[in-house]
Amino acid sequence: MKKFFITTPIYYINDIPHIGHTCTTVAADVVARLHRLKGEEVFFLTGTDEHGQKVAETAEKEGLEVKEYCDKISPRFQEAWKALNISFDFFIRTTDPRHEKIVGEILQKIYDNGDVYKAKYEGLYCIGCEKFLTETDLIDGHCGLHPPEKTVEKSEDNWFFKLSKYVPQIIKLIEDEKTNYIFPEGKKLEILSKLKGGIRDVSISRENVAWGIPTPWDEKQTVYVWFDALINYYSATQFVEGKKDFWPADLHLLGKEILWFHTVIWQAMLLSANIALPKKTYTHSFYMVDGQKMSKSLGNVISPQQLRENFGTDGTRYLITRSFPTDNDSDVGIDRFKEKYNADLANNLGNLVSRVSKLAEGQIVENTELQLEAEFEKLIDEVKFDQAIQFVFDKWVDSSNLKLNQETPWKLEKEDPKRKTVLDECINNIKLAAFHLQIVMPETAQNILNCFKNTVKPLETGLFPRIK
């Protein structure tokens, strides 16, 4: 059986889940469900990134031991994903001793390969990104993604990884169409130009951060949180039972701010440790909330729970997928979502299903096997969710509404064969729409398919109540 391994970034637990985390997680779920539908054996991995300075500082503020804090927050992510019907197969935590052991082993391999040396790090560090900053990261002297106080001066002895040694090999891999792993195309060009601009080696350990995995050859230092975190993708395949053959990953999904880590640093680490490289990374843009960056101080952070309370599980999944930010940032907000929900789900799809199931009540339905359309599959593979959903609406939903309005079957006698023909066509279309939309809205799709199984049964309650 064909195998498919998909991952999301593992999220920092200095905060509870928000719509940004939800965005990548729902996207990964949609892709995972498509591959299962195609009969593949899927391993879908997500989890939490628990070491490092940022998490340690948050725990301290909360007055908790760090591990205690992690044990409190990590389940919030699992619960949020379960409530959204995310079909992850394993939830990894970087504080899992099985992961920690593999991190030590890989670091040791990199060291044994002669790719590690000790040097002084002097420069700026962003605690928000957990990243050593370069000139290009700076806006007004601090990291552009986080408040100024998160940028701090560092001067410490660190272990460095010879990233520069692997740059020519990585450029070659990316430039070769057959081995290129960076999608979409724009991101590939961005990385190539950065790589060709000259690259410095990177620090892989921290001297003064106790909350981390000890560096195998130097107990006084801990592994830099990004080196620890990236290894999760590989470590899970090694310690979760029966998953060894899933490496290398088929698809890493991630947001644009962590592109460099996933397309350069991760590859160099794997090359050094002599481990196969992931086949594809897909980097998406960001959600902006009502035109602004989401931030606690602006008070505009949207949580998955808030989305579910407004739109239900499938409504949320639909809205997230439909507004998925690909090449450009996508503007979202509760009011905007309400409009979209009412237009697409309540007035269009929901209304169609309720009309047809009422009109055709008791009608016998042929249970033909439903097939995936190649075009739809291709659009999902290319992470063009908006277009994939549009394809379903154009082909089956809108066309049925049009047909109903043109043919007005409710005006025809029950016995009129034309009435049955029109309704049969709509039923067939609705079933195909539900079949394809099941990867986005699994429960709703099942409800719809049940409604049109054997004989038509009207819906007991509307699928998507209108929101005022």
Active site residue 426: no
Q: Give Dmax (Cα) for the chain.
A: 86
**23, 35, 70, 126: the active-site residue:** 126
187 interacts with ligand MSP by CB under 6 A: no
Q: If you search the block for the tokens 């991952």, which residue do you land on?
A: 7
Answer whether 121's CB lies under 8 Å from 132's CB.
Answer: yes
Residue 265 DSSP SS3? helix
Token pair recorded at residue 217:
């050859």
Residue (300 or 348) nearer to ligand MSP, CB: 300
Q: Smallest distance, Å, CB 229 to ligand MSP?
A: 4
Report 279-308 residues binding ligand MSP (CB under 6 A).
Answer: 286-287, 294
**Nearest distance in Å: CB 43, ligand MSP:** 16
Interface segment toward ligand MSP; rule CB under 6 A; list 20-28, 111-119, 196-204, 406-414: 20-28
Tokens of 1: 């059986």
Tell me if residue 99 is catalytic: no
User: Per CB under 6 A, does 21 bind ligand MSP?
Assistant: yes
Residue 98 CB, nearest distance to ligand MSP (Å)?
17
- Least gap, CB of 21 to ligand MSP (angstroms): 5
Nearer to ligand MSP, 66 or 229 (CB): 229
Among 29, 32, 49, 337, binds ligand MSP (CB under 6 A): 49
Outline where 287-384 has alpha helix (H).
304-322, 334-340, 351-359, 374-381
When the beta carbons of 217 and 286 are compared against ligand MSP, the nearer one is 286
Whether the upstream peptide bond of residue 248 has omega within 30° of 0, thus cis, is: yes
Q: Which residue is nearest to ligand MSP (CB)?
A: 20
Separation between Cα atoms, residue 252 and residue 40, nearest integer Å: 17
Counting contacts by CB under 6 A, is residue 222 touching ligand MSP?
Answer: no
CB of 306 to ligand MSP, least distance (A): 15
23 included as an active-site residue: no
Check residue 17 for interaction with ligand MSP (CB under 6 A).
no
User: Vertex 93, ends 90 and 95: CA angle to 5°?
Assistant: 145
x/- map, 390-429, ligand MSP, by CB under 6 A: ----------------------------------------
Name the catalytic one among 23, 70, 129, 426.
Answer: 129
Other CB atoms within a 10 A radius of the CB of residue 171 amount to: 15
What does the CA dihedral 136, 140, 144, 150 come to, rounded to 10 degrees?
Answer: 110
- 284 labelled catalytic: no
Instruction: Please tell me whether residue 9 binds ligand MSP under the rule CB under 6 A.
Output: yes
Answer for the pair 43, 243: CB distance below 8 angstroms, yes or no: yes
Going by C-beta distance under 8 Å and a sequence separation of 6 or more, which residues neighbour residue 146?
126, 127, 128, 129
The DSSP secondary structure of 152-207, one letter per residue, reads EEEEEEEEEE-HHHHHHHHHHHHHSTTT--EESHHHHHHHHHHHHT----EE-EES
Distance between CA 67 and CA 70 in Å, rounded?
A: 5
Residues in Cβ contact with 46 at an 8 Å cutoff, skipping those fewer than 6 apart = 7, 8, 10, 25, 28, 77, 81, 86, 88, 91, 92
Provide, rounded to whole angstroms, the least separation between the CB of residue 95 and ligand MSP: 13
- Which DSSP helix (H) or strand (E) runs through 167? helix 163-175
Given the residues 2, 67, 279, 296, select the one marked as catalytic.
Answer: 296
Q: Which stretch binds ligand MSP (CB under 6 A): 16-24, 59-67, 194-202, 340-348?
A: 16-24
C-alpha to C-alpha distance for 37 and 106, rounded to whole angstroms? 35
Tell me whether residue 10 or residue 360 sits nearer to ligand MSP (CB atom): 10
Gap between the Cα atoms of 235 and 97, Å rounded: 11
Among 10, 42, 269, 445, binds ligand MSP (CB under 6 A): 10
Q: Using the minimum distance from each CB to ligand MSP, give the nearer residue, 41 or 137.
A: 137
Q: Per the structure block, which two tokens stand in for 242? A: 């029966």
Contact letters (x/-) for ligand MSP, 232-271, by CB under 6 A? Answer: x---------------------xx-xx-------------
Binding site for ligand MSP (CB under 6 A): 9-12, 20-21, 23-24, 49, 229-230, 232, 254-255, 257-258, 286-287, 294
Q: Which residues are known catalytic residues?
A: 18, 21, 126, 129, 143, 146, 293, 296
